[in-house]
Amino acid sequence: MKKVIIVGASSGIGRQLALLYAQQGHKVGITGRRGNMLQEVQHQFPDLISIQRFDNTTEDISFHLNQLINRVGGMDLFILSSGTGNINLSLDWNLEKEMIDLNVVAWTEIVDFIFHFFQKQRKGHLTAITSIGSIRGEGRAPAYNATKAFQANYLEGLRKKSVYEMLNISVTDIQPGFVKSAMAKSYKRFWEAPLKKAAQQIFYAIERKKKKAYVTKRWWFIAQLLKILPDWIYYKI
């Protein structure tokens, strides 16, 4: 039985992953701000799921994570799924700041806390849900894509650190395309995956300790295309 902590599991991808891990008999600790949504998830597997309600951007992250890890009885696998994304055509600073505060500032504090925990434990698996949007800048949501590029780059840095320092910490970067959740706000959506299918593919990628996985798998083709697409075409899309 694995001990899994998922930050951002009151809805969407994190919630679906929590249910999947609990279905497999693993112990799962979940977080989010909406207590009622966390309780709904917990009620499905009361013996396996523990909850901790907190806001990543305003509360003491290490206190809350320590509480949850103790309640679960340890941590083998950590999944960071919380995030926010907004189309921001007017570059409204409040919207940009909201994304930077959660996806960069709080995200880094959480990831560093977890990395230190695994370092002390001498093993562990750290996973974060970034985005296919990490690959290129996006005019309709510059902050969102930039925060996801930060996350993807940071994860690679941690993976390199782990290999270089022989730390036995695996790092997995999950890059979804479109997934049907509250987060999906872009008006030009295609290949939008149902939550269950996305969570299933993420689950397998994590279990195989992949360094990076595109979800659903067909988004691999879009990722390769995005990497080579000349600016004069990309800027017209």
Ligand X SMILES: NC(=O)c1ccc[n+]([C@@H]2O[C@H](COP(=O)([O-])OP(=O)(O)OC[C@H]3O[C@@H](n4cnc5c(N)ncnc54)[C@H](OP(=O)(O)O)[C@@H]3O)[C@@H](O)[C@H]2O)c1
Q: Which residues bind ligand X (CB under 6 A)?
A: 8-14, 32-34, 37, 55-57, 81-85, 102, 129, 131, 176, 178-179, 181-184
How many of the other CB atoms lie within 10 Å of CB of 157? 11
Indicate the residue among 123 and 217 with the shorter CB distance to ligand X. Answer: 217
Q: Are 77 and 206 in contact (CB under 8 A)?
A: yes
Taking the complex as a whole, the smallest distance from the CB of residue 122 to ligand X amounts, in Å, to 28
Kindly provide the b/e burial profile for residues 69-89, where b requires at least 16 CB atoms within 10 angstroms of the residue's own CB: beebeebbbbbbbbbbbbebe
Indicate the residue among 10 and 170 with the shorter CB distance to ligand X. Answer: 10
Taking the complex as a whole, the smallest distance from the CB of residue 88 to ligand X amounts, in Å, to 14
Strand 77-80 versus strand 124-129 pairing type: parallel
Taking the complex as a whole, the smallest distance from the CB of residue 7 to ligand X amounts, in Å, to 7
Sole residue written with tokens 């000349």: 230
Q: How far apart are the first and last CA of the chain?
A: 46
Taking CB atoms, the residue at the shortest distance from ligand X is: 12
Indicate the residue among 10 and 162 with the shorter CB distance to ligand X. Answer: 10
Indicate the residue among 30 and 48 with the shorter CB distance to ligand X. Answer: 30
Taking the complex as a whole, the smallest distance from the CB of residue 25 to ligand X amounts, in Å, to 23
Angle at 150 between CA 149 and CA 154, to 5 degrees: 115
Indicate the residue among 48 and 179 with the shorter CB distance to ligand X. Answer: 179
Taking the complex as a whole, the smallest distance from the CB of residue 66 to ligand X amounts, in Å, to 16
